[in-house]
């Protein structure tokens, strides 16, 4: 991919979050200029320092909540040259969404509606939407492809992504806006510099940060939710993708958007973003132990509400159309995640 002749400003909502911060780095490295927005509900302002240490640049940062339509309006008033949006700003924990469904419906849908309306009002049409493999529910066939049936969601979080895609599809049909939805699987890892990574506030809701915090002595035993799934070792299977691979997929989506319209047959496109390989929870634990030489304290627990048995991606469409493919291994992602955890302990 060639870099733009001049840096193109891109608004990154949820820009200090796990995926948003790594995408900001990938954007800059590809010749874009990220404008970062975050309400700091599940992130920290110090992430800006990590991004700056990697890129050598200080990017615009706006602290604000997209549930306020006035905030959305003010962003574009302050940065009228924004040429596209990557929308990450959403609550994302499956288990928490089961416990707090109204919080998830309010936050994940209202913020999207406000962003789409403002883009339409300003005649700006380029949006990359952070969707999820959870839209498929428990797929009938694996690996799951983009044309797989969208089945009833297993969690309120997954349902917000299904509804979000429906809102986008209807909006594109009415307005001609250009949107690419990336349905990605399970992002893990950290930037290899260990300057940014996944650092959830409170108890981690995802597997890998709980592993690293357990090994670091910050948590008790890792609970492996369910050992009676119909899988090769009884634990659930997911497609774990390095966060930098995922970040680079968003850059690939933007490159596709900025091509001539003749190169884009549809104004709304959907792509799976994963490795194309599924790993069980126990396989992730073993891979971490081999890669680091450290033991992961863990125990078996009851299944968790909202979890599907297995999901991994069919990725040929992204490879063919976006020219993107995951490059980093599971072991590499886990090593980067561990280095990030160690850095937090020594900082």
Packed helices 330-346 and 281-292: angle between N→C axes, nearest 10 degrees = 60
Bond into 143 cis (ω within 30): yes
Q: Is 66 helix (H, G, I), strand (E, B) or coil?
A: coil
Query: At 346, is the secondary structure helix, strand, or coil?
Result: helix
Cα separation, 3 vs 5, whole angstroms = 6
User: Is 244 in contact with 332 (CB distance < 8 Å)?
Assistant: no
Nearest residue to 337 (alpha-carbon basis) of 187, 236, 221, 201: 187
Question: Strands 84-87 and 237-238: what pairing?
Answer: unpaired
Which of 104, 157, 184, 225 is catalytic? The answer is: 157
Residue 210 structure tokens? 């709980």
CA angle 232, 235, 238 (to 5 degrees): 90
| CB proximity list for 114: less than 8 A, separation 6 or greater | 66, 67, 68, 69, 72
Q: Is 104 a catalytic residue?
A: no
Residue 97, C-beta contacts closer than 8 angstroms, at least 6 positions apart? 91, 104, 155, 156, 157, 158, 160, 306
Q: Which residues are catalytic?
A: 157
């Amino acid at each position: 991919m060639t870099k733009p002749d001049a840096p193109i400003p891109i608004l990154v909502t949820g820009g200090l979050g796990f995926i948003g911060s790594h995408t900001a780095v990938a954007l800059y490295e590809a010749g874009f200029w990220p404008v970062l927005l975050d309400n700091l509900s599940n992130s920290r302002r110090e992430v800006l320092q990590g991004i700056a240490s990697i890129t050598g640049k200080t990017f615009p940062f706006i602290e604000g909540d997209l549930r306020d339509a006035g905030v959305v309006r003010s962003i574009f008033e302050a940065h009228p040259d924004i040429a596209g949006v990557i929308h990450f700003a959403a609550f994302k924990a499956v288990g928490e969404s089961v416990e707090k469904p109204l919080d998830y419906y309010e936050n994940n849908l209202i913020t999207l509606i406000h962003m789409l309306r403002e883009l339409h009002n300003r005649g700006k049409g380029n949006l990359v939407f952070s969707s999820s493999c959870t839209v498929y529910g428990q797929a009938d066939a694996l690996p799951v492809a983009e044309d797989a049936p969208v089945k009833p969601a297993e969690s309120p979080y997954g349902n917000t992504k299904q509804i979000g895609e429906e809102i986008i599809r209807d909006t594109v049909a009415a307005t001609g806006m250009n949107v690419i939805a990336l349905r990605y699987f399970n992002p893990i890892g950290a930037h290899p510099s260990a300057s940014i990574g996944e650092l959830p506030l409170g108890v981690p809701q995802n597997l890998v940060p709980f592993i690293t915090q357990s090994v670091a002595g910050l948590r008790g035993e890792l609970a492996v939710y369910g050992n009676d799934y119909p899988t090769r070792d009884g634990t659930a299977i997911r497609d774990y993708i390095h966060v930098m691979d995922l970040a680079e997929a968003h850059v690939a989506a933007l490159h596709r958007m900025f091509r001539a319209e003749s190169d884009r047959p549809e104004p709304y496109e959907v792509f799976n973003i994963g490795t194309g390989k599924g790993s069980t929870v126990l396989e992730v634990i073993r891979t971490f132990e081999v890669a680091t030489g450290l033991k992961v304290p863990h125990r078996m627990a009851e299944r968790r509400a909202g979890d599907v048995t297995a999901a991994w991606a069919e990725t040929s469409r992204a490879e063919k159309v976006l020219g993107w493919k995951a490059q980093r291994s599971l072991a590499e992602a886990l090593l980067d995640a561990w280095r990030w955890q160690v850095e937090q302990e020594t900082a």
